[in-house]
């Protein structure tokens, strides 16, 4: 795709995450996009992201669901407020809780497609549900409760960088 991903709008200090930061050269650098009311992320596991041979380890699936969900939360909060990402970067969300149900072994060839829906937006909290599938077969489901970083905490954490 040539459109910018949600994560491409993160300001620099927010863009260091191993899962989703475009500035973390060692990381997964996942990309999330709107597709109507759903958000979508496609990721091909690296060859050594193995659980048992031929299948993806659960921690990668958890990581993808986590970062795709916080990105979705950020974009959903922006959308709900009518903000234009080009001129007004999205707020950053952190994960309060993560739940993953592993339905079946996930083939490592991928690609893994994550499709998410915003279940709830309430104040600074956004709940995101995700279905992860490979070639149309659902392999995992996730739910993330994401909370917007309080301004004061953000200042405390990164010194206003």
**Between 79 and 141, CB nearer to its own copies:** 141
**Between 35 and 120, CB nearer to its own copies:** 120
**Taking CB under 8 A as the rule, does residue 93 contact its own copies?**
no
Residue with tokens 């927010």: 14
**Taking CB under 8 A as the rule, does residue 109 contact its own copies?**
no
Within residues 38-57, the interface with its own copies by CB under 8 A covers 46, 48-55, 57
**Taking CB under 8 A as the rule, does residue 131 contact its own copies?**
no
From CA 88, how far away is CA 149, in angstroms rounded? 16
Q: What is the DSSP string of 9-67?
A: GS-GGGTT-TTT-TT-TTS----EEEETTEEEEEEPPPTT-BSSTTBB-HHHHHHHHHH
* Torsions phi, psi for 125 (to 5 deg): -110, 135
Least distance CB 53 / its own copies (angstroms): 5
3-state secondary structure of 149: coil
Q: Contact positions toward its own copies, by CB under 8 A?
A: 13-14, 16-19, 21, 24-27, 46, 48-55, 57-60, 62-64, 66-67, 92, 94-102, 105, 149, 157-158, 161
């Amino acid at each position: 795709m040539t459109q910018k991903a949600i994560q491409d709008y993160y300001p620099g200090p927010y863009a260091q995450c191993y899962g989703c930061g475009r500035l973390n050269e060692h990381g997964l650098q996942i990309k999330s996009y709107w597709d109507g009311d759903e958000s979508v992320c496609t990721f091909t596991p690296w060859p050594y992201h193995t659980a048992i041979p031929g299948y993806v380890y659960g921690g990668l699936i958890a990581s993808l669901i986590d970062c795709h969900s916080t990105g979705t939360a950020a974009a959903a909060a922006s959308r709900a407020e009518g903000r234009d990402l080009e001129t007004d970067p999205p707020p950053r969300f952190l994960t309060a809780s993560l739940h993953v149900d592993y339905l079946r072994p996930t083939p490592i060839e991928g690609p893994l497609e994550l499709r998410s829906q915003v279940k709830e937006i309430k104040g600074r909290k956004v709940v995101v549900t995700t279905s992860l599938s490979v070639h149309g077969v659902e392999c995992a489901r996730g739910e993330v409760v994401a909370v917007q970083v309080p301004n004061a905490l953000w200042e405390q954490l990164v010194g206003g960088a």
